Amino acid sequence: MIRAVSGQEAKIKDYIMGEITRMGYDKLVEDILVPTEKVVQIRNGKKISKERTYFPGYIMIKANLSGEVPHIIKSVTNVIGFLGETKGGEPVPLRQQEVNRMLGKVDELALATEHVAIPFTVGENIKVIDGPFNGFTGAIEKVNEEKRKLEVMVKIFGRKTPLELSYMQVEKL
């Protein structure tokens, strides 16, 4: 496990790979992983999908740390050092169960459906911005998280009518 400057994990990973390849040690480094998860947010009525680093400031590396490899990795800009290392000592490898638990967590996140932060609550007033009822306003009666739909009561010709709309078809008032 490598400690690195938070927010720079992907850049550092690419730079380490480049340095290892340039120096000819790519047979000793099996894999470098920055655990991430996909997060979906709704902003201004648009779905925004982002990759979020699961362990900010840490990069997992599977390598034979013999010869120059640890020195090459430590010399990369924004790398703080190895996790668990005493000053000037040898890097401490993670136990297999720790790695499995961390990778298991990452695999769960990859398999899980995208998590959407639901910005709507029951009773909230909204405006329809898409579809045949564009421009109408109403109140949310139900929020169906699985289908990502809202049941909205809209006044049409003086009569309240229930509509089923997706999150993308409405905006808060």
For residue 22, give both structure tokens.
């340039």
Task: Name residue, tokens 């720790």.
Answer: 98
**CA 149 – CA 133 distance, rounded (Å):** 15
Q: Whole-angstrom Cα distance, residue 25 to residue 66?
A: 10
Instruction: Band the pLDDT of 123: cuts 50, 70, 90.
Output: very high
CATH number of the domain located at residue range(s) 2-116 in this protein = 3.30.70.940
CA distances from 170 to 42, 46, 119, 127, 131 (A): 11, 10, 11, 6, 10
Query: How many Å apart are CA 31 and CA 28, to the nearest integer?
Result: 9
From the list 8, 106, 25, 127, the residue with the least C-alpha distance to 73 is 25
Q: Per-domain residue ranges for the chain?
A: 2-116, 125-172
Q: Please give the radius of gyration of the chain, using alpha carbons only, rounded to the nearest integer.
A: 24
Task: Output the six-digit token pair for 119.
Answer: 């910005």
Task: Reply yes or no on whether the pLDDT at 11 is more than 90.
Answer: yes
Q: What percent of the chain has pLDDT over 70?
A: 89
- Give the pLDDT mean for 130-142: 91
- Residue 126: pLDDT band by 50, 70, 90 thresholds? very high
More confident residue, 43 or 78: 78
Lowest mean pLDDT among 29-38, 48-57, 116-125, 155-164: 116-125
Q: What pLDDT is recorded for position 119?
A: 76
* pLDDT-wise least confident of 55-59, 100-104, 110-114: 110-114
Mean pLDDT across the stretch 105-109? 64
Q: Please tell me the predicted confidence (pLDDT) of residue 40.
A: 79
Residue 41's pLDDT band, with cuts at 50, 70 and 90, is confident
Q: How far apart are CA 53 and CA 33, in angstroms?
A: 11
Task: Please state the rounded mean pLDDT for residues 68-92.
Answer: 81
CATH number of this structure's domain 125-172: 2.30.30.30
Neighbours of 116 (CB within 10 A): 15
